[in-house]
Chain A
């Protein structure tokens, strides 16, 4: 949305104000429940960063959110709202899972590389479907992605309850993959170097996520393809005028978006659990929406917002443990509030901010 605000306000002050409002409301809820918000924040921060393991877990969650945040952000660049991160990550996990189950024993790093490709491919497919429907049939991505989330859950439940289920067990999950396809966990890597950083599922997919951030930045702002995508996102009429096919860009955007969400499964399936489980996406697809909105579509912003939510998730666990009145779902509440203030109410502060910080309008020529 065109803005008269200088970049530091648009990317710095505004998100902070939105976040502040979200925390204010959350703090009010905490007070209503009879606890001290200050104490809650203290527990949260300590729980997220206070010791080695905590940091590891925080970064582990952050990795998930970088992937899903990038996915939502990329779709936004084309003017599309991708709420299907959950389903795309889930199906991406199916791809990775199949690789892990059947060819997990292939030599390192071939298995991992194929796994990465499978995650992106399968997730991309689940993004392509709503993209095609929007481009060729005019079906609104919001509804179709929501529907596909549910369908993905049905598919995965069926697969994990029956065909893919580990023999002789009732739990709906697959066999554990051969170690050759496990993504190295960072605490093990550091241990080799003689450093102890606390056990956590934090693994190499963090670096894959950061690489994706770089690729996202390059693609969106530095390439011709990204330019075409952005034109469609801002103005379909201008795109058609400029010889750019909106249908094509929409499909590309949704497919890439789905691929990014699909990659999230690497972190959980290959990096942490080493097998395919039910519901490993755990709502992280929706967090991506909050992350993308807070990060205002910029890769640095997304990393910071992902870090924030990673801290909230990890800290939130600790908080729920030490302050039993507030349970883990408080983090979900904050997530929703962030989306509310950074997304739906994003214009609320704008008039006030524009009055203070806007560049003066250019006067008409004499």
Chain B
């Protein structure tokens, strides 16, 4: 689809026409057309893998499009590198910050714009300019602090300052609120609005509908590598956008019977976890998971959920407190499995699978000590392959090829393989982290159904997910984590997105009076 340019109106700040980009067999961007009006906040929305980040990386010169044109202020430009983009007045704040940790804020901002061969002169000039920018846009930061000492929200401001310092008139933000609390997100939106008032243009990439509605003027929807719609934000609704994003009416709830929980399986008592850098990640957390129920842990990523999961599964050392499985403490990962704990890790490719191994060797990871798989120290290869085959059929893993290398399977199939392994070893407690991250819709439904089935069979399940909809859909009880602590615990029937959203922001219900 093309974008009409009406005569008499100012040229779009940024326009893309016919942009295509493929990575091998994956067609990440297909014939994209986009026009961003100057002085507006333009949202680009789509699910994981829709192609939004790829598109913006092309605009920023990180990648080169296979075909198509880029126009800035109506003039066609060739952008072959971030340098070209910066020169054209385009700046980008990435999802994962591009900061050098041991450097100070000033050093990070100077990098690439040092203003001279030696650092001294450029540093003095930069200091002045930065103070001015900070005032103008409410971006207070201590210039001489080291990045590794700063909280995430402040680090993001450094990224924005970096772009502004280089004279960005168009600012692209890629999933900026993924690591922010709702408060910090609000502050960010205020910053974006003041940028707009000062005549700059903002492109906001996100998968969160609420953000689009809250702050953008126009929105473009991407799906499966294609641009499917452009709307004025005021003229559309979340339902319409969600439908455009997914392509069909979204079934946000899975059919399930009410839970019938029995005895406690997991007892967590005053758990404290301090990480390698001495930061307290889990602070005095206590809760219980009973047989026959799904407990969901909601929260923005980075609030201690990962460390909690790792501590519970025996991968990470506990600083203090107790984790009791059937009343006995968990010593380490091997011990956890012996005690019938299953763990579907958040990062399946890094942790849950060995990339270079074939599927059947991955099928016994963590369970390789079981007598079923080895005799007198020798692996029973044929038996293992048979098991793997059975699971692949049962969990619809495609292709059904136990000898195929793990990396040759798609994300969804890899996840199903890991799930099959953890579920089929009949755990009493199953820990699941981000089960449907990067997984296609069909596989999501399958995975959700399986989790419910396990729960109905009397197993205890602890589900950690940053997708609130997933928690609301699956969990019987919801625990919300913020900054390493539990801010609230509620029955699913009593929960709604707004209430949980506030808990996720650290606002305990007693405080909201």
Contacts and interface: CB of A to CB of B under 8 A. Distances in A.
B25 to A, nearest CB: 5
A227 B356 CA distance: 13
B143 to A, nearest CB: 34
Contact of A242 (B365, B373, B442): B365
B366 A2 contact: no
B442 A2 contact: no
B356 A2 contact: yes
Interface string A230-246: 11001101101111100
B174 to A, nearest CB: 24
Given A242-B366, A243-B336, A365-B398, A224 B379 contact: yes
A361 interface: yes
Interface string A219-233: 000111101101100
Interface in A331-356: none
A1 interface: yes
Nearest to A232: B354
A32 interface: no
A362 B356 contact: no
A183 to B, nearest CB: 30
Given A227-B361, A235-B355, A237-B351, A243 B378 contact: no
B253 interface: no
A314 B314 CA distance: 55
Nearest to B25: A361
A225 B333 contact: no
A241 B368 contact: no
Contacts of B407: 2
A193 interface: no
Interface string B288-315: 0000000000000000000000000111
A364 interface: yes
Contacts of A228: 368
A358 B29 CA distance: 25
Nearest to B407: A2
Contact of A365 (B337, B404, B440): B440
Given A227-B379, A228-B368, A362 B361 contact: no
Nearest to B396: A365
Nearest to A224: B374
Contact of A2 (B314, B334, B355, B374): B355
Given A222-B378, A234-B356, A365-B442, A240 B315 contact: yes
Given A1-B356, A234-B355, A238-B353, A362 B409 contact: yes
Contact of A241 (B361, B366, B378, B410): B366
Contacts of B398: 362, 365
Nearest to B361: A227
B365 A238 contact: yes
Contacts of A224: 368-369, 373-374, 377-379
Contacts of A1: 356
B356 A231 contact: no
B115 to A, nearest CB: 38
Contacts of A244: 334
A234 B354 CA distance: 7
Nearest to B334: A243
Contact of A234 (B336, B352, B357, B368): B357
B176 interface: no
Contact of A231 (B313, B365, B410, B412): B365
Contacts of B350: 235, 237-238
A242 B377 CA distance: 17
Interface string A49-86: 00000000000000000000000000000000000000
Nearest to B409: A362
B332 interface: yes
Interface residues of A, number: 26
A241 B352 contact: yes
B24 interface: yes
A365 B412 CA distance: 9
Interface residues of B, number: 48
B335 to A, nearest CB: 8
Contacts of A241: 313, 315, 333, 343, 345, 351-352, 365-366
B291 to A, nearest CB: 23
A225 B409 contact: no
Contacts of B352: 238, 241
Interface in B310-367: 313-315, 332-337, 343, 345, 347, 350-357, 361, 364-366
Task: Point out which of A223, A227, A364, A365 has the most chain B C-beta atoms below 10 A from its C-beta.
Answer: A365
B369 A231 contact: no
B405 A222 contact: no
Contacts of B364: 227
A323 to B, nearest CB: 44
Given A234-B354, A241-B333, A365 B368 contact: no
B404 to A, nearest CB: 7
Given A227-B361, A238-B352, A2 B440 contact: no
B493 interface: no
B365 A222 contact: no
A237 B369 CA distance: 18
A364 B443 CA distance: 11
A347 B185 CA distance: 44
B333 A243 contact: yes
A364 B408 CA distance: 10
B413 interface: yes
A18 B227 CA distance: 46
Contact of B379 (A4, A222, A231, A237): A222
B355 to A, nearest CB: 5
Contact of B408 (A230, A242, A362, A365): A362
A235 B345 CA distance: 14
A361 B399 CA distance: 11
Nearest to A221: B379
Nearest to B369: A224
B442 A231 contact: no
A233 to B, nearest CB: 9
B379 A243 contact: no
Given A234-B355, A364-B440, A243 B332 contact: yes
Contacts of A4: 408
Interface in A191-249: 218, 222-225, 227-228, 230-231, 234-235, 237-238, 240-244
Interface of A: 1-2, 4, 218, 222-225, 227-228, 230-231, 234-235, 237-238, 240-244, 361-365
Given A362-B408, A365-B442, 11 more contacts: A1-B356, A223-B377, A223-B378, A224-B368, A224-B374, A225-B377, A230-B357, A240-B333, A241-B366, A243-B337, A362-B399
A-B pairs with the 8 shortest C-beta distances? A243-B334, A242-B366, A243-B333, A2-B356, A242-B365, A241-B351, A364-B410, A224-B374
Interface of B: 24-25, 313-315, 332-337, 343, 345, 347, 350-357, 361, 364-366, 368-369, 373-374, 377-379, 381, 398-399, 404-410, 412-413, 440, 442-443
18 contacts: A222-B378, A223-B377, A223-B378, A224-B374, A224-B379, A227-B364, A234-B354, A235-B354, A238-B351, A241-B345, A241-B351, A241-B352, A241-B366, A243-B314, A243-B366, A244-B334, A364-B440, A365-B440
